[in-house]
Structures are given as C-alpha cells and as structure tokens.
Amino acid sequence: MTDDPPPRQLGDVLAQLMQLRGYSQIQEDDRLRSAWKQVVPAAYSTLTRPARISRGVLQVYVSHPAALSELSAFHQKPIVENLQKILPELKLKDIKFRLG
C-alpha cells in the first residue's frame, strides 16, 4: 500500500487556486466597490474611489479638495459603520481620505 494523501474537496482546491492566482482579491475589490456605492452619499460617488485596505484602514481617493474635507468632517463615521455592517469580514476600523 502507498501512503497517498486522501482526496481533497474540489471546492477547497478551487479556492486555493483562486487565491494563488489573485482572483479572490479581484472579487474582494469588486465587493468593496459595490458596497462603497451603497454607503457613500450619491453626490460623492463619482468623486471618490476606494483603493485598498491596510491594517483595517480603507484608503479612499477623492478628486476634489472640498469633497475630501466634507467627507472627512461629516460622513466618515457613518460610512465606516455602514461598511462594517455590509462587509464585516473586512474588519474595517477607519477610512483615510486622500486627494487623488
């Protein structure tokens, strides 16, 4: 008899392949962009672009200085709270708005 490992579930193999190829990151990015459109005030959706999450902080690029200021001052906390509800697996703690 040989000491072959037991067969693996197809779903596990596909999940590992997607992770290795970076497809899971693409899916996560799409989910984040979709959730962002749901939580950001409509007036700012075309002026903002969520970029990446690092250590629980979402970096968002804002194309207009006045919009950046208003988002930071008045909308940051509600946006974080709503994103936490929609995507709890991201373990989002804060948002950092950047001009760009």
Q: Provide the strand spans (E) within the chain.
A: 48-54, 57-62, 94-99
pLDDT tens, position by position, 70-95: 999 999 999 999 999 999 988 999 99
Per-residue tokens: 67: 């919009």
Q: Model confidence over 44-63: pLDDT tens digits?
A: 999 999 998 889 999 999 99
Task: Write down the domain spans for the chain.
Answer: 10-99
- When pLDDT is cut at 50, 70 and 90, the band that residue 24 belongs to is very low
Q: Around Cβ 66, how many Cβ atoms within 10 Å?
A: 9
Tokens of 65: 């200085």
Query: What architecture (CATH level 2) is domain 10-99?
Result: 2-Layer Sandwich (3.30)
pLDDT of res. 30: 83
Q: Is the pTM of this model over 0.75?
A: no
% the chain with pLDDT above 90:
64
